[in-house]
Amino acid sequence: MPLRIYGHLVAAKTRADFQYRTSFFLYLASQTLISFADMVVVLILFTQVSSIASWSRSQVLFLYALSGIGFGLADLFISQVGLVSRHIKAGTFDQFLLRPLGALWQLSALEFAPRRAGRAVQPVIVLAVILPALDVQWTPVKVALVPITVVCGAVIFGAVWVTASSLAFYLVNSQELANSFTYGGSFLTQYPIDILGPWLRRFFTFAVPLAFVCYFPAAYIVDQPLPESIPSWFSFAAPVIALASVVVARALWRLGIRHYRSTGS
Amino acid sequence: MTANDRDPAIELRDVSKTFRVAHKKGRVRRGLREVVAVDDISLAIERGSIVGYIGPNGAGKSTTIKMLTGILVPSSGQVRVDRLDPSRARLEVTRRIGVVFGQRSQLWWDLPLRDSFSLLRHVYRVPGPRHQENLDRFVELLDMAEFVDVPVRQLSLGQRMRGELAAAILHDPTILFLDEPTIGLDVVSKEAVRRFLIELNRERHTTVLLTTHDLADVERLCERLIIIDHGTVIEDGTVADIKERYGTERTVVIDLDQPSVPLTVAGTEVVRIDGPRQWLRFRRADTTAAAVVAAVAEQADVRDLTVDEPEIDDIVRHIYQASR
Amino acid sequence: MRPYWEVARRTFHKMTTYRGATFAGAFTNTVFGLLSAYILLAVYAQRPSINGYDAVDAVTFTFVVQGLLMVVSVFGDTEIADRIKSGDVVIDLYRPIDYQGYWLAERYGKAAFYAIFRGIPPLIVGALVFDLRFPTSVSTWLAFLLSTALAVAVGFGWGFLLQLTAFWILDVRGPNQLGWVIAQFLAGMFIPLFLFPAWLMAIARALPFASILQLPAETFLGKHEGADLVGVLAIQAVWAIVLIGAGRLVLARAVRRVVVQGG
Ligand SMILES: Nc1ncnc2c1ncn2[C@@H]1O[C@H](COP(=O)(O)OP(=O)(O)O)[C@@H](O)[C@H]1O
Ligand SMILES: [Mg+2]
């Protein structure tokens, strides 16, 4: 969808949301608070121990920041796709197929919720504070890897969101299932994925590639060893994984749309 | 693109749509049942025509329209809208068609109509001057000046539906699909909608396919009528044709000089008497109106007489019953 | 009591029709339980015991909490708020059944359903994957049930207050969400309160939210016995009464205002 049209639609939605101002600001606050709480959890855990899976507090906060920004971006721009399940149930998904724009981008624009911007606030602050505090010999590669990781992380999260939401075309109540991969993924990626048992770790590396969101690249940046079975180039594979995830998500979404059955009157 | 005017605007070839629906089998078990919503329909609709697509509830009208508009993919058969397959070239087709579902809204609930229109202008990338021209014309034709600046949620159903209609055609579609556009409307709004459609068709040769339960819509708007039931076409012809074919019974209403015993005229039956007025029904196969009038004139003094044309309502009800 | 029982029973039955959603929800609870458990285990890899809770306690706690989330409704409802917004609340108030009592009964109907269909599955999966600590005596099970029942009332009281904001603002999702995020954190949903530093734990324990998740989960682990247990249940009961009582007062106020001003 051309950016200008997207902008117009988002602006309209924002204007409409602003009519409920009090609620809007409270919601914004709650979104900010959620990611703040995630950070507080990390801080609390580190009052009890000095490392988690050999990662130090600043290293885990670095993960938190990368994951939080990536997730925040995906939450702001893509998570609206989760609402497809509600539109399908109500039969209102029809309208998205009647306009000359991709249904996914329409959902993203028409259900845009500016309050979700709150999600990324805390992680951005943490990143700004933690980067200088990290005990890292910065090289050009490491420096470049930070923004690349954030962008690829957002893309992978977005692809997971779209893939999981495509289920809605087949299963009536898939939104909650989708949540376990999206919100669950956000929770998971804040920690070194090494802490999972071997099976779950493999699952989140090869099936739902959340380990590439920040764990693998961050491990390279902060000089943490990867788990034994993982080749070291995985730290740089995020762009490829992101691209592949998008291809898969896009195909499944389109397939889903062809299965859309609307509702009988 | 050289659109050949001879090509039909809309074409269905052997189109079927089947839904698998869950149904209860006892308390716990559930089974799947196939519902054939559209069953092997073939038809073509000429450019520039207004066609009524009618049938009882559940006949498959909405399902047909959803296939034509790219919402549903047919289970089998071919659909062509302006020579394109809506399920393959959906985005392209959306630019050429306008759609209104009477029970749904495509307007922005919290924004004034005018804002919805302007958003749609961006969505369809209509050039500014053209948009303004259309908007002015539609506001005038649909009498919307009073409420274009009111948030949609505060509009009456009739006002909203006029807005929906304008929203559906601001991008100059050549084909317009209307699924029960007059449902629930007051008389004034219904009339506004009908006048507008006639005007639109006359001015721009927009092809209109319309479903409705209000046969006054059909009588006012449509040259051609397609009647479906159980997913198949059971009648297809001009409104006059269908009246001709099915209007087998007519009624002569006669005002006599003074009240009289029921008249006896061969081939007719007196179905009602009200003072000096009598209703004589006859089958066309048996006699003609002229013969009836002549026969009556011999028996009594006739003040006045009218011949009731068969009502499309009655005919359609009759056709539905026959198909059951 | 009869009508309330009926309301609860019907709600329970209504819930049984949402099978797909229930399954999906139980799946999500289980996934979050697994993820939290691994994080806690990574923490406990460094220390055998924290504030008297060992790794098995912590992992068990996680799955109990996941099972309780829907029972005590920590994501909030908007049904009451919707009826306030639509004005239907005025009709509801004239029913011969107590308004708040009706919704509490409805909540208990849901709670019973969720306890079975969303509480048990995460525990079973948790027990298959990890070593969990289940209550060993009938009295502990009973104490846990009672504590959970009180937790439902406390959660209801808080949610009811949040939804009453609908009398003052048009869209309650904001306050609802904000109120519940705070409650979730202080109830021990993100991490158990026993991992909190002492000062923060003291604050959390002094607030009503600990009664919603932390206290029933502790009871499940058998951390409270005898007089201590009675004390815990008493705290929960007091918070239930305070919050529900506050809801009553606010409702009465708001209704008077609505009736006087004619909505
Ligand atoms: N999305 C759907 N899922 C299941 N059955 C449907 C669906 N849409 C329509 N049907 C069924 O197909 C038949 C035709 O429906 P429809 O096209 O809506 O009829 P009409 O518009 O003529 O009233 C009905 O039996 C209806 O129940
Ligand atoms: Mg229909």
Task: Provide the pLDDT for residue C263.
Answer: 45
Please report residues of C whose CB lies closer than 8 A to that of A180.
27-28, 31-32
A208 at C interface, C-beta within 8 A = no
Kind plus residue range of the DSSP H or E element containing B251: strand B249-256
Range(s) of the domain holding residue A222:
3-263
Task: Provide the pLDDT for residue B4.
Answer: 61
Distances (CA, A) of A148 to A35, A69, A75, A142: 21, 12, 18, 10
Neighbours of ion ligand 2 (CB under 5 A): A 265; B 62
Q: Record the pTM.
A: 0.88
Domain boundary (B243, B274, B294) is at: B243
**pLDDT at position B149 over 80:** yes
Please report residues of A whose CB lies closer than 8 A to that of B66.
94, 262
Least confident of A154-158, B109-113, C36-40, C257-261: C257-261
Distances (CA, A) of A6 to A84, A87, A158, A247, B122: 18, 20, 17, 22, 9
pLDDT higher at B323 or A100: A100
Other CB atoms within a 10 A radius of the CB of residue B244 amount to: 14
Question: Is residue B220 situated within a structural domain?
Answer: yes
Residue pLDDT, tens place only, A104-121: 999 999 999 988 888 899
Is residue B198 domain-shared with residue B301, that is, in the same domain? Answer: no
A98 at B interface, C-beta within 8 A = yes
Is residue B223 domain-shared with residue B254, that is, in the same domain? Answer: no
Task: Provide the pLDDT for residue B3.
Answer: 53
Nearest CA to ligand 1 atom 8: A264
Beta bridge partners of A212: none
Cβ under 8 Å to A: C residues 181-200: 181-182, 184-185, 190-191, 195-197, 200
Mark A129-144 as b/e (b = at least 16 C-beta within 10 Å): ebbeebebeeeeebee
Please report residues of B whose CB lies closer than 8 A to that of A12.
108, 111, 115, 119
Residue pLDDT, tens place only, C80-127: 998 888 888 878 888 888 999 999 999 999 999 999 999 999 999 999
A232 at C interface, C-beta within 8 A = no
**Which residue does chain B place closest to A110, by CA atoms?**
B108
C-beta of B57 in contact with ligand 1 (< 6 A):
yes
**Which residue does chain A place closest to B37, by CA atoms?**
A264
For residue C195, the 8-state DSSP code is G
Contact A45 C27 (CB under 8 A): no
Residue pLDDT, tens place only, A213-262: 999 999 999 999 998 889 999 999 999 999 999 999 999 999 999 999 89
**Which residue does chain B place closest to A106, by CA atoms?**
B123
Task: Provide the pLDDT for residue C259.
Answer: 64
Residue pLDDT, tens place only, B49-86: 999 999 999 999 999 999 999 999 999 999 999 999 99
As for how many domains chain B has, the answer is 2
Question: DSSP string covering A18-78, please?
Answer: TTSHHHHHHHHHHHHHHHHHHHHHHHHHHHH-S-BTTB-HHHHHHHHHHHHHHHHHHHHHT
Is residue B27 domain-shared with residue B173, that is, in the same domain? Answer: yes
Ligand 1 atom nearest B179 alpha carbon: 21
| Strand B224-229 versus strand B50-54 pairing type | parallel
Least confident of A141-155, B277-291, C175-189, C190-204: B277-291
What is the distance in angstroms between the Cα of B130 and the nearest Cα belonging to chain A?
18
Say if residue C225 is exposed, middle or buried (CB neighbours under 10 Å; 0-12, 13-18, 19+). middle
Other CB atoms within a 10 A radius of the CB of residue C208 amount to: 20
Question: Is residue B317 situated within a structural domain?
Answer: no
Beta bridge partners of B175: B97, B207
Question: Is residue B216 situated within a structural domain?
Answer: yes
**pLDDT at position B238 over 80:** yes
**Which residue does chain B place closest to A255, by CA atoms?**
B73
ipTM of the complex: 0.91
**pLDDT at position B324 over 80:** no
For chains A and C, CB pairs below 8 A equal: 116
A182 at C interface, C-beta within 8 A = no
C252 at A interface, C-beta within 8 A = no
Contact A41 C190 (CB under 8 A): yes
Question: Is residue B314 situated within a structural domain?
Answer: no
Task: Provide the pLDDT for residue A122.
Answer: 92
Please report residues of B whose CB lies closer than 8 A to that of A98.
69-71, 94, 99, 106
Residues C81, C170: Cα–Cα separation, whole Å:
9
Least confident of B111-115, B320-324, C49-53: B320-324
Is residue B148 domain-shared with residue B193, that is, in the same domain? Answer: yes
Angle at A210 between CA A208 and CA A216, to 5 degrees: 130
**pLDDT at position A190 over 90:** yes
Range(s) of the domain holding residue B293:
248-308
Mean of pLDDT over chain B: 90
Task: Provide the pLDDT for residue A178.
Answer: 86
Least confident of A178-182, A193-197, B117-121, B245-249: B245-249
Percent of chain A with pLDDT over 70: 99
Task: Provide the pLDDT for residue C247.
Answer: 96
- Contact predicate B253/B283, CB 8 Å: no
Number of residues assigned to chain A: 265
pLDDT higher at A34 or C233: C233
What is the distance in angstroms between the Cα of A164 and the nearest Cα belonging to chain C?
12
Ligand 1 atom nearest B66 alpha carbon: 17
Is residue B144 domain-shared with residue B158, that is, in the same domain? Answer: yes
Contact B71 A100 (CB under 8 A): no
Is residue B224 domain-shared with residue B282, that is, in the same domain? Answer: no
**Which chains neighbour B (Cβ–Cβ under 8 Å, 3 or more pairs)?**
A
Q: Read off the pLDDT of each residue in A31-48 and give the average, rounded to a whole number.
A: 94
Task: Provide the pLDDT for residue B1.
Answer: 43
What is the distance in angstroms between the Cα of B150 and the nearest Cα belonging to chain A?
13
- Contact predicate A92/B104, CB 8 Å: yes
C78 at A interface, C-beta within 8 A = no
B210: CATH: 3.40.50.300
Task: Grade residue A265 by pLDDT with cuts at 50, 70 and 90.
Answer: low
Residue pLDDT, tens place only, B153-170: 999 999 999 999 999 999
Task: Provide the pLDDT for residue B250.
Answer: 81
C-beta of A262 in contact with ligand 1 (< 6 A):
yes
Question: Is residue B318 situated within a structural domain?
Answer: no
B260: CATH: 3.30.70
A180 at C interface, C-beta within 8 A = yes
Contact A260 B72 (CB under 8 A): yes
Is residue B181 domain-shared with residue B289, that is, in the same domain? Answer: no
Task: Provide the pLDDT for residue A109.
Answer: 94
Domain boundary (B243, B269, B298) is at: B243
Domain boundary (B211, B243, B275) is at: B243
Nearest CA to ligand 1 atom 27: A264
Is residue B69 domain-shared with residue B145, that is, in the same domain? Answer: yes
**pLDDT at position A141 over 80:** yes
Beta bridge partners of B35: B19
**Which residue does chain C place closest to A34, by CA atoms?**
C181
As for how many domains chain A has, the answer is 1
Question: Is residue B276 situated within a structural domain?
Answer: yes
Ligand 1 atom nearest B21 alpha carbon: 4
Least confident of A30-34, A169-173, C73-77: A169-173
Question: Is residue B319 situated within a structural domain?
Answer: no
A258 at B interface, C-beta within 8 A = yes
**φ, ψ dihedrals at B233, nearest 5°:** -75, 125
Question: Is residue B268 situated within a structural domain?
Answer: yes
Residue pLDDT, tens place only, B271-307: 889 889 999 988 878 888 888 888 888 888 888 888 8
Task: Provide the pLDDT for residue B100.
Answer: 96
Task: Provide the pLDDT for residue A229.
Answer: 85
Is residue B297 domain-shared with residue B239, that is, in the same domain? Answer: no
Is residue B234 domain-shared with residue B285, that is, in the same domain? Answer: no
Least confident of A149-163, B184-198, C86-100, C211-225: C86-100
Residue pLDDT, tens place only, C194-231: 999 999 999 999 999 999 999 999 999 999 999 999 99
Least confident of A1-10, B206-215, C155-164, C239-248: A1-10
C64 at A interface, C-beta within 8 A = no
Q: Read off the pLDDT of each residue in A67-72 and give the average, rounded to a whole number.
A: 96
